[in-house]
Amino acid sequence: MIVKEKTSLRFVFKGVSHTAHIFFDGLHIADHYNAYTAFHAIAKDVEPGEYEVVVIVDNSFGEFSSLHVPNDYYTYGGIIRPVAMEEIKQLYIERIAFTPIWEKGGWKASIQAIIHHVENQEQTCSIRFRLNGKEYEAGSCEAAADGTSRVGGTFEFPGAEAWSPEKPVLYELRGILFVDGKESDDLIERVGFRVVTAEAGRIQLNGKDIVFKGVNRHEDHPMVGSAFPFQLMAADADLMTDMGCNAVRTSHYPNDERFLDLCDERGILVWEENHARGLSLDQMRNPNFRWQCEQVNREMVEQHHNHPSILIWAILNECASDTLEGREMYKEQLEQIRELDASRPLTFASHHRDKELCFDLADIVSFNLYPGWYGDEDPGELCDLARGWADASGGLGKPMIMSEFGGDGYYGYRDASRVRGTEERQADIIEANLSAYTARSFISGMFIWQFCDCRVTEGTDWLLTRAGTKNSKGIVDSYRRPKLAYAVVQRYYKK
Amino acid sequence: MIVKEKTSLRFVFKGVSHTAHIFFDGLHIADHYNAYTAFHAIAKDVEPGEYEVVVIVDNSFGEFSSLHVPNDYYTYGGIIRPVAMEEIKQLYIERIAFTPIWEKGGWKASIQAIIHHVENQEQTCSIRFRLNGKEYEAGSCEAAADGTSRVGGTFEFPGAEAWSPEKPVLYELRGILFVDGKESDDLIERVGFRVVTAEAGRIQLNGKDIVFKGVNRHEDHPMVGSAFPFQLMAADADLMTDMGCNAVRTSHYPNDERFLDLCDERGILVWEENHARGLSLDQMRNPNFRWQCEQVNREMVEQHHNHPSILIWAILNECASDTLEGREMYKEQLEQIRELDASRPLTFASHHRDKELCFDLADIVSFNLYPGWYGDEDPGELCDLARGWADASGGLGKPMIMSEFGGDGYYGYRDASRVRGTEERQADIIEANLSAYTARSFISGMFIWQFCDCRVTEGTDWLLTRAGTKNSKGIVDSYRRPKLAYAVVQRYYKK
Amino acid sequence: MIVKEKTSLRFVFKGVSHTAHIFFDGLHIADHYNAYTAFHAIAKDVEPGEYEVVVIVDNSFGEFSSLHVPNDYYTYGGIIRPVAMEEIKQLYIERIAFTPIWEKGGWKASIQAIIHHVENQEQTCSIRFRLNGKEYEAGSCEAAADGTSRVGGTFEFPGAEAWSPEKPVLYELRGILFVDGKESDDLIERVGFRVVTAEAGRIQLNGKDIVFKGVNRHEDHPMVGSAFPFQLMAADADLMTDMGCNAVRTSHYPNDERFLDLCDERGILVWEENHARGLSLDQMRNPNFRWQCEQVNREMVEQHHNHPSILIWAILNECASDTLEGREMYKEQLEQIRELDASRPLTFASHHRDKELCFDLADIVSFNLYPGWYGDEDPGELCDLARGWADASGGLGKPMIMSEFGGDGYYGYRDASRVRGTEERQADIIEANLSAYTARSFISGMFIWQFCDCRVTEGTDWLLTRAGTKNSKGIVDSYRRPKLAYAVVQRYYKK
Amino acid sequence: MIVKEKTSLRFVFKGVSHTAHIFFDGLHIADHYNAYTAFHAIAKDVEPGEYEVVVIVDNSFGEFSSLHVPNDYYTYGGIIRPVAMEEIKQLYIERIAFTPIWEKGGWKASIQAIIHHVENQEQTCSIRFRLNGKEYEAGSCEAAADGTSRVGGTFEFPGAEAWSPEKPVLYELRGILFVDGKESDDLIERVGFRVVTAEAGRIQLNGKDIVFKGVNRHEDHPMVGSAFPFQLMAADADLMTDMGCNAVRTSHYPNDERFLDLCDERGILVWEENHARGLSLDQMRNPNFRWQCEQVNREMVEQHHNHPSILIWAILNECASDTLEGREMYKEQLEQIRELDASRPLTFASHHRDKELCFDLADIVSFNLYPGWYGDEDPGELCDLARGWADASGGLGKPMIMSEFGGDGYYGYRDASRVRGTEERQADIIEANLSAYTARSFISGMFIWQFCDCRVTEGTDWLLTRAGTKNSKGIVDSYRRPKLAYAVVQRYYKK
């Protein structure tokens, strides 16, 4: 790369899988762990000339990595999401947090700008916001000890339209940074006005009860791994809409922001969750687990705060929430997220049935159960039981979501016998589940496992049950070809 | 059916799966358990008229059935093999047992005729054999208490040609029964002259060391279940020959005699085994186990005695031969078979590695190991280890066979990643195994698991690893379409 | 084969493809052309001993063969249907022709026995028939110059039940031959009482209008060619019934009698046709065409006369019936068949649209049109046009059948684009056609092209349109796996 | 979009399929026909503010469009390639043409800069080039009447390394525009030093005979149409290299420059051709044909001039070069291209065999023949014939390329019969062709038809031979899964 005039450069890596070491002309300027959150690296005061940026990437498993482990999905290596480069001055707006508020029949919002002071100088600055043609002065700010300053306030937006799945109205929010009275930086975010609540055993969007009709989705594709180009994201969103979904769960990690943008634009409701799947208590005891979770939680919530489509934050899918030791970690993480963002309800997906110990900590109780696949239970009876388990152990009065259910169907394997593994059997299982859940008013949402087939880590243990080194429970296959279950989903979700 | 003249009728059911109750015009004339051996039913002194034969078939699992259990293959229900009807008189030849003997550079044979006396009459009769244009008087006989008489002897056959894979010479052996000096019945068998021995750690056919290059084969087909028409049997034999096989193991039960006929004609060497697969000690304690095994052993050996292609009798695949209690049953069954037919070596396929307790009871040691599939072991190293295990526990000096190895490959799933489940990976696994075994002189045979994909019992336990309710380790798929491993097999077996 | 007592032997070859030369111990005893009709060969006065029967089979194309030509189906070589052997005496019953008659509210039947006099002896004989427990004397007969004698009559069968698709009642008809007063031979046929008429523009079975809801079926299977074992025939019939079919067209040749037996038993209505497909005028001018057609017509009608399921005889699918020269041949053949059997209406399938010249010769007009596949026409509009073409050129007042329609769908090729060749598009085409035809009261039947995919002759001409050397218009693929169109057929045919 | 300071904006559309109308805030600023070449649109003197850019796209077929017609590939609609936006001043460098020259053992290059004068002002300017660390003054320039000025010269590059497939050395060439002595714009191109010649019946790269071992490639993918993201292009290039290709033909249109960049980087030799496939004389008479061809030729050659990987320019695949009227158009176009760029040899792919009339006009003779697919000819004999046809009609002494050959193979259709359409047969055909061509020294190149399966226009005419609305001659299928022929290509191309 060529630099023509002296400047500081900020590189934003949207996703490097899973551990990155960044060098600018040989100078080590950043490290990061976790494939699924962004981070930045700054090269200060770069003189004109040609430079080389080196990204060393490691996707190996090992003691260091507590969240990327051999698992029921694949940890592809490499730079899986875009990289942005921008010239920065001594101060720049790092992010803006927009939190809509519905009060007395009108929209307000709390807006906070976070300004980064490169070199931690004590310069004063001020911020002005612009939204829907109007300007809002947020006042001036001074840097804190960590080189960051925050400035903002609560503003009224009379006449603003609400964001909803039916009409996903978005506004451009522009923050302008003034230093010494001169415009010095700006940042444009896209926001929407909506509030989400979890009251009276149901979930409300802008005060009205909603039911999530969704799928779980892995960012996985046989042709690009997890390095999705925009075309393929949009194609996925098209398929979800065509299937009748109004929701998606970003199982099991924060997603590419471009996909969240698509959800914002199309009114697809999002359950976003931190990065963890099926970790045992032993795995949670990994000495790196705590900080790696703290980091991914913080980065997820800060980076994706402004997406109106995200209605739920979740943590630790199917981990050891049935143990007291595990419960401590669930508690810690839920509190961390609640502190970062009090505007969204929290949950976690549990498969512990009547052994679950953490329902009291969450706002919504969520069950991963696979009636008809891992056992022969009846979906209706099982979710009635689940409601009872929840009520008996801290979930009484809380909304309930069936966060995972489904069965394997190998694309192209159709057989009149309808044996396990055929597309027919998968369709039968999906039908039995959807039929039960859509008929029960205490269920506030359902997420089919899963949108598309995904690659898994190869193994000879329980992964032996993953024929072809894939989790084949997708409603579409890895190439996004609809299986027979697709029409079943349409039938229930488009009602 | 119409009977024109008074007669007795004998119905031979070649295979009814798995429990049969036979009625002749309402009269209960026979019962039988086990799908894979033949049995007969006699209606005596039937007057002219029209009659109905009813066969009630049951293929349910339950306490009664100790051998047909939910398993890694499918127990189809129904009349799966042909039914023959013949008119009989008071005496008829039930079977002839032909046992070739090589002595002083020439062929002899022991030939025994077993005559059934309907109504147990004490009639005297005599037998004459005819083979290759010559006649042999076997003398006269009298019925034993059980209504059966045996007559026979040892005869010389100068000029007879040996049966071998290269030149599978067959002879028609006709036994003629005389009662009161008049020809009363005859029976034609097809026989071959060959002897099999297991000496000096190798297996010999007619004195020469041989190596079995074979496949394990289930009688299973998506279009006919286990009720094979002749065309499909012949097509299977064609494929085996095209692949370069010189051998087949009738895993895990006695096969249709028409398939054995094909093996006789084509010189395909056969390891035939009784009916059992992977029974635990608990399952072997089923009160019906002993008699059901005793019966299938006896029927198998008596019914298939004359097939020159059968070189090995085997029992109890992967059962509890690693326990003292199990050992007793292995011992009992091996002794039973040895008594019925001392002309063939005996074995059983074991997966107990260094825990095996029964190698001393058999003539050949056989291992079911799946290096590269169920574990990451190296096939060569593993079979060297196996030789050691055998030597250390009663198998020293005995020939050794790799009776099962392979891996799943889903037909049509080809992927450059070569992950587990791809046809490519299966080909790799087969290559690694064959390469190791064909290079080791202490190995007297190898049987790939398996010839064709087969259906399995549906289940949510370990059968979860059987994607699509199939065991997909076939070198050809269930429709007999070659997978990529096919060419690998050809490369090694046609050398 | 072993002959124990002197006898004459009759071998009946049910089907040899396509030209057979039969030798008995070196003696040339029969020749036959055409794969799809039976013929016999007699070895007279065979002394006891061992004999060899040799069948030389030729399936090559060439000048000699006018009906088996490179075509849209495959001429497999070999003995494709069973062979029967029987011992005969000087006289034997060759066949019995049973023709039911409905008169004055009761069932009668004309029954004729055809007796073959081996050596053309002038022996007299008599015949007695037995049906439903009663006996009928048919009188005595003398041999004609050709060594054949016929004897029979018309008999009443009070209380006989009619054969119908809903209740396919069958009776055993036994003919007993007496020579010199002694029972000398017998023959058992299975018959049904039903009459078929074509009046007032509709087709009647036992006086009630019927509509054929059928498929065209080729005797073709990737695993057995055209040499079907009974299991696979029964499986085909099962599928047809499951699809809701009440009819099948034996396109384009007489079928295996066992399949017709299944149709008799299950009440499946049959359009049977002689052997010809798409022959051009040039091909019809082949000097062998006339006799080869005459023979296949005669053999078909005589051999299959007694199948109650056969309601229609047809000839010459898509041949040159749009030419005057072709018309002569159509006329000749229709007259021949009418003379052999006046009890069934006749038709032929035409694709000549408004150029057809032979509608006046047939009893039913039949169209092969492929709206939506070979052109973009609307099925409803096109069949309205077709009715007009028929009315204008000799078909006025005659029932009309859509004898072929459909489109290719490659099994497993499913795509949301619904482009030509996808299973989806095929389903669309089938739906559009069935929707149009089932809604029109002037249509007496429809036969989808086709039941199952079939292999075709390889070629670089129009056969280039047969991807994969197959005609892929099957509702099930060659392995009988249902395509998406299957459910569409069920929806229309099961109404 | 937001403009902060007054500026002029230049939008470069790399590809819009197939007709674009560009509006800037309602102002119509550009139109363009043809999906496969870039064009720009300029919005002058834009004041600060928010603006909207509208692109109206039309991909319909009709009289207007002479090159996009229903065809053996698919014309997807939309913005299929990237769009770039840049701020420009009154003058900017539009492009730089770099033409390497090998002279007296050293590298020179002619370098021309084309400067666009917005508003056609008569400003003077000068250009400096920088390459490999050195600077080259090109002098000053004045605008011509069309608002364009050209400036450049021939420069020596001692020590420059040649570009070759084995070592594809690339240099950055930076042109810097000075206006009134101040740096005003720059443009960076990537170039390579290599010369291509066609002498003595062979093709030379840097003086050494080369043989193209290539594939024809359509920019087509089931998941993105022709709107390729970079990942998928790179994956295609990976596959080609893995297959052993050293060359690719951009059939049948100019390709995305990012793909050409990949070819530059990896040393893949390119035959690029204008946009036309199989147009009949009638289609060539379309009144728009001449200008649409002139334009695509010009845009292709100007836009892609600097790619060292492009060795050949070609025109009008399989059009009416067998007619005198067609010949005139071939002549005109070849002359146009030769005038635009005399540094590369020209050709066109012909299927007219001995009827071809234009071989004398080209530098290389190229044949599209499909022995083994559209006919039963032997590839070796056929290309010997082809050499004769070329020699006899103007091609004597010219290099010869087999520009298309192959056969359909439907992915997943494998069958021991090896019938047409199976992957096996396709592999056989590819083998027969490659075996013949690689053995003949007069053949300078071969391009398999084709790299990947591609979608075609749906139709009921000859497109009926395109099963599944695809051209299935790909060595990989549309999802890029290797067919059996892949290994054959490797065997021949990696030798």
> What percentage of residues in chain A have a pLDDT greater than 70?
100
Q: Is the Cβ–Cβ distance between A491 and A427 less than 8 Å?
A: no
pLDDT in tens, B244-259: 999 999 999 999 999 9
What amino acid occupies position B133?
G
Q: Where are the alpha helices (DSSP H) in A188-323?
A: 230-243, 257-266, 281-284, 289-304
Residue numbers in A near D480 (CB within 8 A): 223
pLDDT at C145: 77
- Summarize pLDDT for C207-255 with one digit per residue, the tens: 999 999 999 999 999 999 999 999 999 999 999 999 999 999 999 999 9
Q: pLDDT tens, A275-300?
A: 999 999 999 999 999 999 999 999 99
Residue from A182, A187, A231, A477 whose CB has the most chain D CBs within 10 Å, to mutate: A231
**Chain C contact for A418, CB < 8 A?**
no
Closest approach of C15 to chain D, Cα-based (Å): 24
What average pLDDT does range A199-222 have in this prediction?
98
What is the tens place of the pLDDT at every residue in A84-140?
A: 999 999 899 999 999 999 999 999 999 999 999 987 667 789 999 999 999 999 988
Higher pLDDT, B78 or B495: B78
Kindly report, residue by residue over C386-441, the tens digit of the pLDDT: 999 999 999 999 999 999 999 999 999 999 999 999 999 999 999 999 999 999 99
Give the CA angle between residues D470, D474, D479 to the nearest 5°.
75
Q: Residue B144's pLDDT is what? A: 77
In Å, how far is C476's CA from the nearest CA of chain A? 12
Mean pLDDT of A451-460: 95
For residue B124, what pLDDT band results from cuts at 50, 70 and 90? confident
List of chain B residues whose C-beta atoms are within 8 Å of the C-beta of residue A472? 467
Quote the pLDDT of residue D119: 77
Residue D256 gets which letter from DSSP?
A: P
pLDDT in tens, A413-432: 999 999 999 999 999 999 99
Chain A: list its partners (3+ Cβ pairs within 8 Å).
Answer: B, C, D
Task: Using DSSP bridges, classify how beta strands A208-210 and A202-205 pair: parallel, antiparallel or unpaired.
Answer: antiparallel
Judge whether residue A312 has pLDDT over 70: yes
Please give the Cα distance from B269 to B292 (Å, whole number): 27
Mutate: best of C419, C456, C483, partner D, most D CBs <10 A: C419
| Per-residue pLDDT at B180 | 86
Q: Give the residue from B124, B258, B116, B112 showing the smallest Cα distance to B173.
A: B112
C120 pLDDT above the threshold of 70:
no
Residue C223 in contact with partner chain D when CB distance is under 8 A: no
Q: What confidence score (pLDDT) does residue A230 get?
A: 96
**How many Cβ contacts (< 8 angstroms) between chains A and D?**
33
Q: Which pairing describes strands A443-448 and B27-33: parallel, antiparallel, or unpaired?
A: unpaired
- Nearest Cα to A36, choosing from A374, A209, A353, A275? A275
Residues D288-320: tens digit of each pLDDT = 999 999 999 999 999 999 999 999 999 999 999
Tokens at A180, concatenated: 């010494």
Confidence of residue A1 (pLDDT cuts 50, 70, 90): confident
What are the chain C neighbours of B235 within 8 Å (beta carbons)?
Answer: 223-224
C79 → chain B, closest CA residue: B231
Q: What is the pLDDT of residues A374-396, one digit of tens each?
A: 999 999 999 999 999 999 999 99
State whether residue C49 sits within 8 Å of chain B by CB. no
Q: How many CB pairs under 8 A join C and D?
A: 58
What letter represents residue D455's amino acid? R
Contact at CB, C421 and D376, closer than 8 angstroms: no
- Cβ of A231 within 8 Å of Cβ of D229? The answer is yes
Please answer yes or no on whether C420 and D376 come within 8 Å at the CB atom.
no
Residue contact A455–B420, C-beta within 8 A: no
Half-sphere exposure of B185 (CA within 13 A, CB side): 22
Chain A CB contacts of B373 under 8 Å are: 460
pLDDT of C106 strictly over 80: yes
Q: Which amino acid, one-letter code, is at A263? A: C
- Amino acid in position B352: H
In chain D, which residues have their Cβ closer than 8 Å to the Cβ of C468?
410, 413, 419-422, 467
Strand residue runs (E) in D73-227 = 78-79, 83-88, 91-103, 106-117, 125-131, 134-141, 148-156, 171-179, 182-191, 196-199, 202-205, 208-210, 212-216
The Cα of C311 is separated from the nearest Cα of chain D by a number of Å equal to: 36
Instruction: Give the confidence band of D124 by pLDDT, cuts at 50, 70, 90.
Output: confident
D146 pLDDT exceeds 90? no
| CA dist., res. B156 & res. B102, Å (int) | 10
Question: The tokens of C375 are what?
Answer: 């052109």
Identify which of D222, D419, D467 has the shortest CB distance to residue C458. Answer: D419
Contacting residues of D for C374, CB less than 8 Å apart: 460, 464
The amino acid at residue A23 is F
Q: Is a pLDDT exceeding 70 seen at residue A252?
A: yes
Residue C131 scores a pLDDT above 80? yes
pLDDT, average across residues D186-201:
97
The answer to whether C482 contacts A412, with C-beta atoms less than 8 Å apart, is no
Q: Please tell me the predicted confidence (pLDDT) of residue C338.
A: 98
pLDDT at A52 over 70: yes
Q: Which of D414, D418, D479, D490 to mutate to test the interface with B (most CBs of B within 10 A)?
A: D414
Peptide bond into C117 cis (omega under 30): no
Q: DSSP H helical segments within D214-323, as ranges?
A: 230-243, 257-266, 281-284, 289-304
- Cα(B367)–Cα(B404) distance, integer angstroms: 7
The identity of residue C233, as a single letter, is M
Q: Is the peptide bond before B28 cis (omega within 30 degrees of 0)?
A: no
Partners of A416 on chain C (C-beta within 8 Å) are 482
Q: Domain limits of chain B?
A: 2-88, 91-191, 196-493
Find the angle CA(A410)-CA(A411)-CA(A414) to the nearest 5 degrees.
Answer: 80
Hey, what amino acid is at D196? V
Is residue B461 helix, strand or coil? coil
A192 touches chain C (CB under 8 A): no
Whether C140 and C182 have beta carbons less than 8 Å apart is answered as no
Is the Cβ–Cβ distance between B188 and B172 less than 8 Å? yes
CB neighbours of B241 closer than 8 A, spacing ≥ 6?
B266, B268
Chain D residues near residue B412 by CB distance under 8 angstroms: 412
Neighbour-count burial of A364, counting CB atoms closer than 10 A to its CB (0-12 exposed, 13-18 middle, 19+ buried): buried
CATH of domain C91-191: 2.60.40.10
pLDDT category of residue D143 using cuts at 50, 70 and 90: confident
Angle made by CA atoms A8, A14, A17, in degrees to the nearest 5: 120
In A34-170, beta strands by DSSP E: 39-46, 49-50, 53-58, 78-79, 83-88, 91-103, 106-117, 125-131, 134-141, 148-156
Task: Report pLDDT for D229.
Answer: 97
What type of residue is B40? H
Among B243, B410, B414, the strongest candidate for a mutation testing the D interface, having the largest count of D CBs within 10 A, is B414
Q: What does pLDDT average to over chain A?
A: 96
Residue-wise burial string across B232-248, b where 16 or more C-beta atoms lie within 10 A, e elsewhere: bbbbbbebbeebebbbb
Judge: B460–A375 Cβ closer than 8 Å, yes or no.
Answer: yes
Closest CA to B12 of B90, B116, B83: B83
Higher model confidence: residue D373 or residue B140?
D373
Per-residue pLDDT of D314-345, as tens digits, reads 999 999 999 999 999 999 999 999 999 999 99
Q: Which CATH superfamily includes the segment(s) C196-493?
A: Glycosidases (3.20.20.80)
Nearest residue of chain B to residue C80 (CA atoms): B231
**Spatial contact of D377 and D383, defined as CB atoms under 8 Å apart:** no
Q: Do A468 and B376 touch (CB under 8 A)?
A: no
Query: Between B and C, how many residue pairs show a Cβ–Cβ distance under 8 A?
Result: 31
Facing B468 at nearest CB: one of A375, A421, A469 = A421
Neighbours, chain C (3 or more CB pairs < 8 A): A, B, D
Which residues does chain B have within 8 Å of residue A415's beta carbon, measured at their own beta carbons? 222
The kind and range of the H/E element at B262 are helix B257-266
User: pLDDT value at position D480?
Assistant: 97
Find out whether the peptide bond into D68 is cis, omega within 30 degrees of 0.
no
Residue with tokens 């297991």: B198
D414, D182 contact by CB (below 8 A): no
- Can you say whether residue B198 is alpha, beta or left, with left for phi > 0 and alpha for psi between -120 and 50 degrees? beta
Residue C346 predicted with pLDDT over 80 = yes
- Residues C116, C143: contact at Cβ < 8 Å? no
Q: How far is B412 from chain D (nearest CA, A)?
A: 6
Distance CA D316, CA D335 (A): 13
- Report the pLDDT value the prediction gives residue D341, as an integer from 0 to 100: 98
Q: In Å, how far is C126's CA from the nearest CA of chain A?
A: 54
Residue C416, chain A, CB below 8 Å: the answer is: yes
Q: Are the beta carbons of B412 and D412 separated by less than 8 Å?
A: yes
pLDDT of residue A120: 63
Q: Under an 8 A CB cutoff, do A230 and D232 touch?
A: no
Q: What is the pTM of this model?
A: 0.95
Which pLDDT belongs to residue B120? Answer: 62
Q: What's the confidence (pLDDT) of residue D495?
A: 85
Tell me phi and psi for residue C269, to 5 degrees: -80, 140
CA torsion angle A223 A224 A229 A233 (round to 10): 70
DSSP C321-368: TTSHHHHHHHHHHHHHHHHH-TTS-EEEEE--GGG---GGGSSSEEEE
Residues of B in contact with C224 (CB under 8 A): 229, 231-232, 235
Name which of D248-257, D419-428, D456-465, D477-486 the model is least confident about: D456-465
Of all residues in chain C, the percent with pLDDT exceeding 90 is 92
Distance CA D172, CA D165 (A): 18
Contact B479 C222 (CB under 8 A): yes
| Residue in B closest to C174 by C-alpha | B2
Predicted pLDDT at D110: 97
- Among the partner-chain residues D374, D464, D468, the one whose CB lies closest to the CB of C410 is D468
CA of A324 vs chain D CAs: smallest distance (Å): 46
Verify whether the Cβ–Cβ distance B235 to C223 is below 8 Å. Answer: yes
Are C150 and C187 a contacting pair, CB within 8 Å? Answer: no
ipTM of this complex prediction, to 2 decimal places: 0.93
Q: Output the six-digit token pair for A87.
A: 């010239």
Task: Nearest by CB to B467, from A373, A421, A460: name it.
Answer: A421
Q: Which fold has domain B2-88?
A: Jelly Rolls (2.60.120)
- Find residues 451-490 of chain B whose CB sits inside 8 Å of chain C: 479-480
Q: Are C1 and C51 in contact (CB under 8 A)?
A: yes
